[in-house]
């Protein structure tokens, strides 16, 4: 949740912004998708336009150079942006979602003044939580931050880190205590500039889909940071910052799943009305209509879930269950829509010549990152059981 931005932008200004963004998505981003695929990154001219439009600062508080969107507005922004290829959302989502959330909610005033204006201006951030042997299990985290003078020395490796090859700053989760303490109090967070001595970025990983959204390892070897790098100036709050940020990240993935599913369905609908079989458009066939209708209904359901979870967050409610449920359902929904649209295309859906093939590969990761479907099932169930126990 973004506690500092719940009032949000003026509704009329926000609506005008989203209208402008929709035009930008259709006129600039979608036509650039093939270039993204070829280059393996967002082209520099497109990235410059995204910065000029203020897209990197939509959630930052206005006093730090941002637009001050609340959660509902932010996820509406994500949905609009996610109608285009995932790389465009990926390059800025860590800034406006997870890292902004961590700094805004847990950072010191000095850290906010130092980092939020830079992030709003287009500095690219990465979020260093996952490790080779530690993803959802923070107790297995091996990256260490050892006290040294008035600062710390960090050692460890982070894996599958989105934006690592482009990042100017990395929010690194590291253990400041060798023991696994209650409530994950062994985990602290550090704001680490990418050019700090000892920080190395690995070779970008080859992926199934989402071309242009690069991930890589972040290797930390005797990385010395000052005490001002410790988020909030306090040890042991890293896990809380990460989980609060993950609520936001999960809503973002849910919103992206809805936005991309709309694009996928529009593509399938267009193909079904143009492709003919037995002398008529295949859209006239009832089994094709069933796949289109099921997709429309599921997108609507996911959209409603996301809107409800965001509204609750804006009211200040704890949305850990709602964010998990919305992300779980929306990401699974998006996979089903992509699968149906490949099926509607028939043999053509298996060819790279058609968008359906790219969509199918792109959406698979939505069911994995920011919490796999299985982890989210555990999050939801454990919170249900905890509530039952509290009320017993």
Just list the catalytic residues.
370
H or E element: which one contains 189? strand 187-193
Pick from 89, 96, 99: nearest CA to 127: 99
Pick from 213, 216, 250: nearest CA to 358: 213
CA distances from 31 to 36, 37, 46, 84, 175 (A): 10, 12, 11, 9, 44
Q: What is the DSSP letter of 272?
A: H
The answer to whether 152 and 198 have CB atoms below 8 angstroms apart is: no
Q: Name residue 145's beta-bridge partners.
A: 154
Q: How far apart are CA 85 and CA 105, in angstroms?
A: 30
Q: How far apart are CA 362 and CA 382, in angstroms?
A: 30
Q: How far apart are CA 348 and CA 131, in angstroms?
A: 39
Classify strands 169-175 and 125-128 as parallel, antiparallel or unpaired. parallel
CA distances from 352 to 332, 340, 357 (A): 23, 17, 6
Pick from 124, 190, 121, 105: nearest CA to 162: 124
Q: How far apart are CA 382 and CA 260, in angstroms?
A: 30
Q: What are 75's two structure tokens?
A: 């996820």
């Amino acid at each position: 949740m973004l506690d500092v931005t719940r009032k949000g932008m003026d509704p009329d200004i926000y609506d005008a912004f989203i209208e402008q963004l929709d035009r930008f998505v259709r006129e600039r981003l979608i036509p650039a998708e093939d270039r993204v695929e070829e280059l393996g990154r967002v082209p520099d001219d497109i990235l410059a336009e995204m910065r000029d439009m203020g897209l990197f600062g939509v959630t930052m508080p206005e006093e730090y150079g941002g637009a001050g969107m609340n959660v509902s507005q932010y996820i509406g922004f994500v949905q609009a942006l996610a109608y285009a290829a995932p790389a465009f959302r990926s390059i800025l989502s860590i800034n406006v979602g997870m890292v902004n959330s961590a700094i805004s909610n847990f950072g010191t005033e000095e850290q906010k003044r130092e980092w939020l204006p830079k992030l709003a201006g287009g500095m690219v951030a990465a979020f260093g939580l996952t490790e080779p042997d530690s993803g959802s299990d923070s107790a297995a985290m091996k990256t260490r931050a050892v006290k040294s003078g008035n600062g710390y020395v960090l050692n460890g490796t982070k894996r599958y880190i989105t934006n690592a090859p482009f990042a100017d700053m990395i929010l690194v989760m590291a253990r400041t205590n060798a023991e696994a303490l209650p409530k994950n109090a062994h985990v602290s967070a550090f704001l680490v500039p990418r050019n700090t001595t000892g920080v190395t970025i690995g070779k970008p990983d080859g992926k199934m889909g989402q071309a242009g959204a690069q991930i890589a390892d972040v290797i930390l070897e005797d990385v010395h940071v000052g005490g001002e790098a410790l988020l909030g100036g306090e040890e042991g709050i890293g896990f809380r910052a990460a989980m609060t940020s993950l609520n936001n990240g999960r809503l973002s993935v849910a919103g992206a799943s809805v936005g991309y599913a709309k694009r996928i369905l529009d593509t399938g609908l267009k193909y079904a009305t143009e492709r003919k079989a037995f002398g008529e458009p295949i859209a006239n066939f009832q089994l094709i209509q069933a796949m289109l209708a099921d997709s429309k209904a599921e997108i609507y359901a996911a959209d409603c879930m996301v809107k409800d979870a965001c509204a609750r967050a804006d009211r200040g409610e704890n949305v850990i269950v709602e964010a998990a449920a919305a992300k779980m359902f929306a990401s699974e929904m998006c996979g089903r829509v992509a699968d149906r649209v490949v099926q509607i295309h028939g043999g053509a859906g298996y060819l790279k010549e058609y968008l359906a093939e790219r969509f199918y590969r792109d959406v698979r990761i939505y069911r994995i990152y920011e919490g796999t479907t299985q982890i989210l099932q555990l999050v939801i169930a454990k919170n249900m059981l905890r509530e039952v126990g509290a009320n017993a």
